[in-house]
């Protein structure tokens, strides 16, 4: 669908698609504020269709899928500072940004000219790798379990397990396992 022929309708539809209230969109379209007129305009079929179209375009532009976030974390986590700077005989040389790949440019958080020279600062590589690793389940969080059991209970319990006694969770007593009947 193309832009609406009536400029005020197009302005109204764009404002609604961007999150403005109906009354505010109606006012921005050039009309005097009127709740019922704004509601009627919002319910016109061509305006509804245009609002839906604009909303789809805006959401596609702001696409932030999980896959894209992971890809960006990977760019930061696997970046190589030596692609932006090089050290020769103790002197640091910063590469021209035209020569840098898109991945290296994405990993740079700041380039600043100061009285001591140029500073190139990268995003936190360690944090990016940590987030990726957690997402992939590579790291296990430390779990502290505080169990209040006496040494005597612990020892008695291990002897019962060695003898093959089974603990019935519904009963209070421990009974030995039943043996199958032997056939003569």
Percentage of the chain exceeding pLDDT 70 = 78
Q: State the average pLDDT over residues 154-171.
A: 63
| DSSP H helices in 29-80 | 35-42, 45-61, 66-77
pLDDT on residue 184: 47
Q: Across residues 35-40, what is the average pLDDT?
A: 93
The 3-state DSSP class for residue 34 equals coil
Q: Which two tokens stand for residue 97?
A: 């940004």
Query: How far apart, in whole angstroms, are the C-alpha atoms of residue 137 and residue 141?
Result: 10
In this prediction, residue 148 has a pLDDT band, given cuts at 50, 70 and 90, of: confident
Query: What CA–CA distance (Å, rounded) separates 36 from 41?
Result: 9
Whether the per-residue pLDDT at 46 is higher than 80: the answer is: yes
pLDDT, tens digit, for every residue of 61-82?
Answer: 766 667 788 889 999 999 998 8
Task: Examine the pLDDT at 8 and tell me if it is beyond 60.
Answer: yes
How far, in whole angstroms, is CA 66 from its chain's centroid?
6
* Closest CA relative to residue 27, chosen from 44, 19, 15: 15
């Amino acid at each position: 669908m193309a832009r609406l022929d009536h400029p005020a309708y197009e302005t109204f539809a764009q404002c609604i698609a961007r999150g403005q209230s109906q009354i505010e969109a109606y006012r921005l379209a050039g009309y005097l504020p009127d709740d019922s007129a704004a509601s009627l305009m919002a319910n016109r079929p061509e305006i509804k269709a245009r609002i839906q179209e604009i909303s789809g375009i805006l959401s596609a532009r702001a696409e932030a899928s999980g896959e894209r976030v992971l890809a960006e974390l990977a760019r930061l986590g696997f970046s190589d500072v030596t692609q932006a700077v090089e050290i020769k005989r103790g002197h640091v040389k910063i590469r021209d940004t035209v020569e840098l790949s898109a991945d290296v440019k994405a990993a740079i958080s700041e380039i600043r000219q100061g009285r001591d020279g140029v500073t190139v600062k990268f995003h936190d590589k360690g944090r990016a790798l940590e987030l990726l690793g957690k997402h992939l389940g590579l790291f296990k969080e430390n779990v502290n379990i505080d169990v209040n059991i006496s040494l005597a209970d612990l020892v008695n319990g291990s002897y019962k397990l060695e003898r093959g006694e089974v603990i019935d969770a519904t009963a209070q007593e421990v009974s030995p396992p039943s043996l199958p009947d032997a056939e003569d």
